[in-house]
Amino acid sequence: MKLLEDKILAEGRALNSSTLKVDSFINHQVDPVLMDAIGREFACHFKNAGVTKVLTIESSGIAPAVYTAMHLNVPMIILKKQTSKILNGNVAQTNITSFTKGTSYELTLSLDYVNPSDTVLIIDDFLANGEAATGAVRLAKAAGAKIAGIGILIEKSFQKGRQKLLDQGYDVYSLARIARLDEGIIEFVK
Amino acid sequence: MKLLEDKILAEGRALNSSTLKVDSFINHQVDPVLMDAIGREFACHFKNAGVTKVLTIESSGIAPAVYTAMHLNVPMIILKKQTSKILNGNVAQTNITSFTKGTSYELTLSLDYVNPSDTVLIIDDFLANGEAATGAVRLAKAAGAKIAGIGILIEKSFQKGRQKLLDQGYDVYSLARIARLDEGIIEFVK
């Protein structure tokens, strides 16, 4: 997606061979016009996949996911990183280890909102080792849902997440695929 | 806002005198059409306030805030509950205690994205004791910004947050104002 690639080149900051900061338009400050365009692009790609729910992981996936859901005319569901006092009862949970952030957390989905009649599209901001996306897939499957595919804003194509998801047979649609990062260097997959 | 009040009456679940579950359309499953309408309503109310940025607190505020920002044609900024490895440097931080959730957390704003030329609108899902909103105000002021006002989806009007913010001179615009909650009972302010 040229719009996103251009934004990454203009405002993204490559700090080293694995870290790309996109705080100015995705992770901290968010550009709503870009999010709307991204949502439209995902909705277009997955329009014949029978999507009934869009799933995302809090919190950077929420903005692109809610626009994707709007353009597909379905609800969006936020997989929660913390079980609040308010969300309890009939839930599925799975553990995620984020190598990028050096953290581990429990991801929760209420089974009140996803069931075997659903086909879910998973949206996330980054795909690196695929831990978060794979966790979202596990939760959707625990709810008995089918997986329409996985939509990613920025894929670190030099890491193994994409292949891991392809090997499981999923449609992985990444809007920007990065072949190489280094200090001040961002190269896309050609 | 009648649309939101109707949704609360239809799908909200009052568990006791202080807890209202809105997991089916705001906090876990999200209705994008409702979020768009909410964003439009906030944008309309604050259209002459000179808003340059919409601020929200991750993660339930993100969906309504990104639509508000879109309709005001300004960026949205997510105040982060955890300082990621990636967000560092020039930041303001403040501590928030959530009585509702029984937790305490550090809220972070990068000063790269809000500065003294900004006028910010703060959007959040719930207003109860006003701890989160007051924390967001502190961060905006630490960045030198002016406060256009505070937009809230659901106000627990029987708690003290609204008055606390009004006493500081802020425009508090709540789309649904709840006068009383009890098991199975939801009464709006008349």
- How far apart (Å, rounded) are the C-alpha atoms in residues A71 and B124? 24
- How far apart (Å, rounded) are the C-alpha atoms in residues B43 and B21? 26
- Alpha carbon A157 to its chain centroid, in Å, reads 14
ipTM score for this prediction: 0.95
Buried b (16+ CB within 10 A) or exposed e, A25-58: bbbbbbbbebbbbbbebbbebbeebebbbbbbbb
Does A58 sit within 8 Å of B59, measured CB to CB?
yes
The shortest CB-CB distance from A32 to any of B23, B66, B84 is to B66
The shortest CB-CB distance from B63 to any of A31, A66, A85 is to A66
Phi, psi of A185 (to 5 degrees): -120, 125
Interface of A with B (CB under 8 A): 19, 21, 23-24, 27-33, 35-36, 53, 58-60, 62-63, 66-67, 69-70, 75-78, 80, 84-87, 100-102, 110, 112-113
**Least confident piece of the model among A88-102, B112-126, B144-158:** A88-102
What are the tens digits of pLDDT across the range B41-87? 999 999 999 999 999 999 999 999 999 999 999 999 999 987 655 55
Give the model's pLDDT for residue B158: 98
Phi, psi of B85 (to 5 degrees): -60, -25
Looking at CATH, the fold of the domain delimited by B2-188 is given as: Rossmann fold (3.40.50)
- CB B124 within 8 Å of CB B132: yes
A31-177: what CATH class?
Answer: alpha beta
Tell me the CA end-to-end span of chain B in Å, nearest whole number.
12
Residues recorded for chain B: 190
Q: Does residue B108 sit in helix, strand or coil? A: strand
Residue A167: partners with Cβ closer than 8 Å, 6 or more residues away: none
**Sequence letter at residue B120:** V
What are the tens digits of pLDDT across the range B123-178? 999 999 999 999 999 999 999 999 999 999 999 999 999 999 999 999 999 999 99
Strands A119-127 and A146-156: parallel
- How far apart (Å, rounded) are the C-alpha atoms in residues A63 and A31? 9
Token pair 């609108």 is found at B121
The radius of gyration computed from the CA coordinates of chain A, to the nearest angstrom, equals: 16
Closest CA to A110 of A90, A84, A94, A96: A90
What are the tens digits of pLDDT across the range A137-177? 999 999 999 999 999 999 999 999 999 999 999 999 999 99
Q: Indicate if the pLDDT at residue A103 is higher than 90.
A: no
- CB B18 within 8 Å of CB B156: yes
